[in-house]
């Protein structure tokens, strides 16, 4: 969860309770009432960890680094995106505001810092049905023939990024060249009425700081690998259940709610000591702005609405973008894997932006390990 009790916060900070309260009053640590006991407070995890790291001068460097790499401060400088004050920004522009009218093509131009229109050529092999498997195969076929990213100018990399993006778009949003990608995907699924919601999803999911898949893509690019290899590594990471595969957990929760009732389903998760899937987000102390933006444009199916209301009441966290994506899939009768298909094409834009930023820096990402195995002989 993204909130800590006073005891947990004090253990991390290594200070007295008076210091904790002082940091809250000075705005350094955000706090909110504990839903289970309003006489107590909960403290935002990221704020506590950030403050603890700053005051860790007496601890060994490797200890601080090990604790910071999981939901810690960013370990790499980037000019692409950031979460600030509960909002997501792409190169300083509010993503939720961009989602009102922009398309994924516009976000690509913004994140790639391109001054000319995007050109996506129609591929030789056309796929009528969006296929994640086809995306893996198409990217893998390119990795051995594309040029390495190291030592190439930004304009050269931007042209290649267009080509790689076109390869992915050709299989994840099949359709006629020149048609907006969200319309291509909506038509491929036979649901043209879902086009505008898909567009909004594309914009809101295009990038999100140094998440797991993006960090993986940057590591790949830092070694000088091809842009297609960087996207392939990002796509592989995205499929994990703690990342782009989170929709499956939401689907399981909804299936349980359909079987035993919404409140019993939520209570059963909590009774089993399992976190409720897609409630809360580490980077958003109040609400995931991406999910909130989508839900404002969507009439939730009744069962989803019940699970959301009961879950938010019992857990004290708001639903996030994974919940909104899964609800949208149900509302528009899209294929079950629609959340991952949408997520993958949107995030390809971000992976390419980060890969180019990393490649042009000329720096290899190579952390050290703190060895904890048997003593060397």
- Rounded to whole angstroms, the Cα distance separating 257 from 37 reads 27
pTM score: 0.82
Distance of CA 94 to the CA centre of its chain: 16
Residue 149 lies in a domain: yes
Is residue 70 pLDDT above 70, yes or no?
no
| Pair 61, 170 in one domain | no
Please spell the DSSP secondary structure of 142-198, one letter per residue: HHTTSPPSTT--HHHHHHHHHHHHHHHHHHHS-S-TTS-HHHHHHHHTT-GGGHHHH
Band the pLDDT of 19: cuts 50, 70, 90: confident
**Encoded tokens for 1:** 């969860």
> Residue 47's pLDDT is what?
87
Q: What confidence tens digit (pLDDT) does each residue in 293-337 have?
A: 999 999 999 999 999 999 999 988 999 999 999 999 999 999 999
Q: Calculate mean pLDDT across residues 165-172.
A: 96
Q: What confidence tens digit (pLDDT) does each residue in 244-254 have?
A: 888 899 999 99
Is residue 126 pLDDT above 90, yes or no?
no
Is residue 228 pLDDT above 80, yes or no?
yes
Domain range for residue 35?
3-68
| Pair 171, 257 in one domain | yes
> Residue 287's pLDDT is what?
93
| Pair 19, 63 in one domain | yes
Residue 80 lies in a domain: no
> Residue 360's pLDDT is what?
94
Those residues with Cβ within 8 angstroms of residue 303's Cβ, 6 or more apart along the chain or in another chain: 254, 257, 258, 262
- Mean pLDDT across the chain, nearest whole number? 90
| Range in 12-26, 185-199, 240-254 with the lowest mean pLDDT | 12-26
Band the pLDDT of 60: cuts 50, 70, 90: low
Q: What confidence tens digit (pLDDT) does each residue in 271-283 have?
A: 988 889 999 898 8
Residue 92 lies in a domain: no
Catalytic positions, please?
243, 281, 322
| Pair 194, 252 in one domain | yes
| Pair 12, 119 in one domain | no
Instruction: State the pairing for strand pair 37-44/81-84.
Output: unpaired
CB atoms within 10 A of CB 31: 20
| Pair 24, 108 in one domain | no
> Residue 58's pLDDT is what?
45
| Pair 192, 328 in one domain | yes
| Pair 151, 60 in one domain | no
> Residue 14's pLDDT is what?
84
Task: Return the CATH number at 276.
Answer: 1.10.580.10
Helices and strands in the chain: count of H runs, count of E runs:
18, 6
| Pair 126, 8 in one domain | no
Question: How would you label 137-172 residue by residue, b for 16+ Cβ within 10 Å and e otherwise?
Answer: ebbeebbeebeebeebeeeebbebbbebbbbbbbbb
Task: Return the CATH number at 48.
Answer: 1.10.1660
Asked whether the CA dihedral 205, 347, 255, 266 is positive or negative, the reply is negative
| Pair 15, 138 in one domain | no
Is residue 142 pLDDT above 50, yes or no?
yes
Is residue 206 pLDDT above 50, yes or no?
yes
**Encoded tokens for 375:** 């003593």
Residue 62 lies in a domain: yes
Judge residue 86's burial from the number of C-beta atoms within 10 Å of its C-beta, 0-12 exposed, 13-18 middle, 19 or more buried: middle
- Rounded to whole angstroms, the Cα distance separating 284 from 131 reads 32
Q: Calculate mean pLDDT across residues 343-358.
A: 98
Domain count, the chain: 2
Q: Calculate mean pLDDT across residues 145-168.
A: 95
> Residue 33's pLDDT is what?
87
User: Which range among 28-32, 98-102, 237-241 has the greatest average pLDDT?
Assistant: 98-102
| Range in 37-46, 183-192, 249-258 with the lowest mean pLDDT | 37-46
| Pair 18, 113 in one domain | no
Q: Which residue has the higher pLDDT, 83 or 16?
A: 83
Residue 257 lies in a domain: yes
Percent of the chain with pLDDT strictly greater than 70: 92
Q: Which DSSP helix (H) or strand (E) runs through 205?
A: helix 195-205
| Pair 334, 227 in one domain | yes
């Amino acid at each position: 969860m993204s909130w800590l009790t006073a005891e947990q916060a004090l253990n991390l900070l290594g200070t007295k309770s008076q210091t904790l309260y002082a940091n809250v009053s000075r705005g350094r640590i955000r706090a909110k009432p504990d839903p289970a006991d309003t006489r107590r407070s909960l403290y935002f995890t990221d704020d506590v960890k950030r403050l603890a790291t700053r005051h860790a001068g007496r601890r060994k460097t490797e200890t601080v680094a090990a604790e910071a790499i999981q939901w810690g401060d960013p370990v790499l400088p980037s000019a692409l995106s950031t979460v600030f004050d509960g909002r997501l920004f792409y190169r300083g522009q509010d993503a939720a505001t961009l989602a009102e009218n922009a398309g994924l093509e516009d976000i690509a131009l913004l994140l790639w810092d391109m001054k000319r229109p995007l050109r996506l050529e129609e591929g030789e092999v056309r796929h009528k049905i969006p296929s994640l498997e086809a995306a893996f195969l198409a990217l893998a076929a390119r990795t051995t023939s594309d040029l390495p990213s190291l030592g190439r100018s930004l304009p050269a990399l931007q042209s290649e990024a267009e080509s790689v993006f076109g390869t992915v778009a050709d299989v994840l949003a099949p359709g006629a060249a020149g048609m907006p990608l969200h319309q291509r995907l909506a038509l491929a699924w036979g649901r043209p009425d879902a086009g505008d919601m898909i567009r909004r999803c594309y914009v809101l999911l295009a990038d999100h700081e140094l998440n797991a898949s993006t960090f993986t893509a940057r590591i790949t690019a830092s070694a000088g690998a091809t842009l297609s290899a960087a996207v392939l590594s990002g796509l592989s990471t995205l499929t994990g259940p703690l990342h782009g595969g989170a929709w499956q957990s939401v689907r399981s929760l909804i299936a349980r709610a359909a079987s035993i009732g919404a409140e019993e389903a939520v209570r059963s998760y909590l009774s089993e000591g399992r976190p409720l899937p897609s409630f809360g987000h580490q980077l958003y102390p109040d609400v995931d702005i991406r999910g909130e933006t989508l839900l404002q444009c969507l009439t939730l199916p009744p069962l989803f609405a019940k699970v959301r209301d009961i879950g938010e009441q019992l857990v004290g966290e708001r639903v996030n973008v994974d919940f909104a994506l899964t609800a949208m899939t149900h509302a528009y009768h899209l294929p079950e894997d629609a959340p991952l298909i949408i997520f993958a094409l949107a995030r390809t834009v971000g992976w390419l932006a980060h890969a180019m930023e990393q490649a042009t820096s000329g720096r290899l990402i190579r952390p050290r390990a703190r060895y904890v195995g048997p003593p060397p002989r």
